[in-house]
Structure 1
């Protein structure tokens, strides 16, 4: 039981670090919160909520993984290296694609309700 509690504590520590240190993570959290508030305002159905929550989770998870990759790359390659830069760029691209997909899903769900 102690290991289980410790694992949650480590995860919360990671969330806290990422929220404090990564502007994009804060932006994605704020966007997710706005989507949730808007979802209540337009009375989403169960399927629409599922898509919105999955989209928010996808972007948050991708941002966390991107942050971990950036930290790892900085650890193993503290000096500039073109491959290290490429690794960081590719990880950031995954967040961009996820965020764009979340935006598209949000538009499909919210635009008809707002028109």
Structure 2
């Protein structure tokens, strides 16, 4: 029997999917920001589907929402990795965490911009 690193074909895909689900569960359990973003996603996806008039608008509205938790997952992974190295304050650790946090902010700005560009002209 092959070990985890030698899995091939469908077995590798199934195992990778399992690891992905494990990561989602861990982030949901330990990261409040991720939980908040998932709640917002659940609330806003139906609104985006309803407000988008074309398939492209719907894709942009919903797709931009998915970017935020995706970037939050990466942010949380970076923070966990930095914390694993050590909890003492270090300039490079703080910089890594701040940069990852900035990526989340940019994703929120991106989503807000997409929603504004699509929806504001409809109400003006």
Q: Same fold (TM over 0.5)?
A: yes
- Matched with 1:41 is 50
Q: 1:100 aligns with which of 109, 112, 118?
A: 109
- Matched with 1:84 is 93
User: Is residue 27 of structure 2 the alignment partner of residue 18 of structure 1?
Assistant: yes
The structure whose Rg is larger is 2
- Is contact 1:42-1:113 (8 Å) kept? no
- Is contact 1:62-1:98 (8 Å) kept? yes
Larger relative CO (CA 8 A, sep 6+): 1 or 2?
1
Q: Shift in Å at residue 113 of structure 1?
A: 4.2
- Matched with 2:64 is 55
C-alpha change, 1:54 and 1:96, in structure 2 (3 Å) is: same
CA RMSD of aligned residues (A): 1.8
| Structure-to-structure mapping, 1:60-75, within 5 angstroms | 60-75=69-84
Q: Shift in Å at residue 99 of structure 1?
A: 0.7
- Is contact 2:52-2:58 (8 Å) kept? no
Matched pairs, number = 115
Cα distance in 2 for partners of 1:105, 1:52 equals 7
C-alpha change, 1:114 and 1:30, in structure 2 (3 Å) is: farther
Cα distance in 1 for partners of 2:30, 2:40 equals 17
Tell me the TM-score normalized by structure 1: 0.87
- Is contact 2:52-2:61 (8 Å) kept? no
